[in-house]
């Protein structure tokens, strides 16, 4: 059984652009092999609880290396008996809407 975890890691006091920190975190996500989707406001991971949470922790710690303060937000969707929800959740909404959403 897998969980969906949406998270964002934001360094504080680094100026207006956080893209360098986001790139460091996403490198960890990509190299982890865990299923993910990057969005403008955060990243969604799908996988086993311990593996997903370990990636979030690694991302937080990596960004903290170059910042005095880091704010990490995490939202967890844990639904029994469901897998491949990165795709299925959006497809379900599109089916009910009767059209594809922008990607």
- Overall domain count for the chain: 1
Examine residue 43 and state whether it is found in any structural domain, yes or no.
Answer: yes
Confidence (pLDDT) at 92: 85
Label residue 98 by pLDDT band (50, 70, 90): very high
Examine residue 20 and state whether it is found in any structural domain, yes or no.
Answer: yes
Question: What number is the average pLDDT over the span 24-46?
Answer: 96
Helices and strands per DSSP (H, E), number in the chain = 3, 4
* 28: pLDDT strictly greater than 90: yes
Using a 10 angstrom Cβ sphere, with 0-12 exposed, 13-18 middle and 19 or more buried, the burial of residue 21 is buried
Examine residue 102 and state whether it is found in any structural domain, yes or no.
Answer: no
Examine residue 78 and state whether it is found in any structural domain, yes or no.
Answer: yes
Examine residue 38 and state whether it is found in any structural domain, yes or no.
Answer: yes
Examine residue 103 and state whether it is found in any structural domain, yes or no.
Answer: no
Examine residue 14 and state whether it is found in any structural domain, yes or no.
Answer: yes
Per-residue pLDDT tens over the stretch 43-91: 999 999 999 999 999 999 999 999 999 999 999 999 888 788 888 888 8
**Cα–Cα distance between 59 and 37 in angstroms, integer?**
15
Domain that holds residue 90: 3-97
Examine residue 81 and state whether it is found in any structural domain, yes or no.
Answer: yes
Confidence (pLDDT) at 89: 82
CATH number at residue 21: 3.30.70.930
């Amino acid at each position: 059984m897998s969980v969906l975890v949406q998270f964002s890691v934001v360094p504080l006091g680094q100026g207006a652009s956080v893209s360098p920190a986001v790139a460091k975190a996403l490198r960890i996500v990509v190299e982890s092999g865990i299923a993910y989707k990057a969005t403008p406001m955060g990243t969604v991971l799908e996988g086993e609880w311990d593996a997903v949470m370990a990636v979030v922790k690694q991302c937080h710690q990596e960004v903290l290396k170059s910042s005095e303060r880091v704010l990490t937000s995490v939202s967890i969707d844990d639904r029994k008996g469901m897998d491949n929800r990165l795709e299925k959740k959006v497809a379900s909404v599109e089916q009910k809407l009767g059209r594809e959403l922008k990607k």
